[in-house]
Copies of this chain bind each other. A is one copy, B any other.
Amino acid sequence: MAKRATLKDVAARAGVSQGMAGRVLGNYGSYSKDTQRKVRAAARAVHYSPNVIAKALRTRRTRTVGVLISDITASFWTSMIRGIQDRAARDGYSIIVCNSDEQSHDEKAALATLVERGMDGLIISPTLGNHSYLRQLWRGGTPLVLVDRKVDGLDAPSIRVDNRAAAREAVSYLVRLGHRRIAIIRGPEGVETNDERFAGYAEALAEQRIPLQPALVKNARFLQEKSFEATRELLRARIRPTAIFVCNEAMASGCIHALKEARVRIPQDISFITFDDTVWAEYLDPPITCVSQPSYSMGMLAFDHLLGQIHGHGGRARPQEEVVMKTRLVIRGSCARVNGA
Residues on A facing B (Cβ under 8 Å): 1-2, 49-54, 56-57, 60, 62, 64, 71-73, 78-79, 81-82, 85, 89, 92, 94-99, 110, 112-113, 115-118, 140-142, 224, 253, 256-257, 260, 278-285
Contact = CB atoms under 8 A, between A and B. Distances in A.
B72 A94 contact: no
Nearest to A136: B2
Contacts of A85: 72, 97-99
Contact of A96 (B94, B278, B279): B94
Given A53-B53, A94-B96, A117-B52, A284 B282 contact: no
Contacts of A98: 85, 89, 94
A118 B140 CA distance: 29
A142 B49 CA distance: 16
Contact of A53 (B57, B82, B95, B284): B57
Contacts of A283: 253, 256-257, 260, 284
Given A56-B53, A257-B282, A94 B82 contact: no
Contacts of A50: 116
A110 B142 CA distance: 27
A96 B54 CA distance: 18
28 contacts: A1-B60, A1-B140, A2-B141, A49-B112, A49-B115, A50-B116, A51-B116, A52-B118, A53-B56, A53-B57, A53-B62, A53-B118, A64-B96, A71-B82, A72-B85, A85-B97, A85-B98, A85-B99, A92-B113, A95-B96, A96-B96, A224-B279, A253-B283, A256-B283, A278-B280, A280-B280, A280-B284, A283-B284
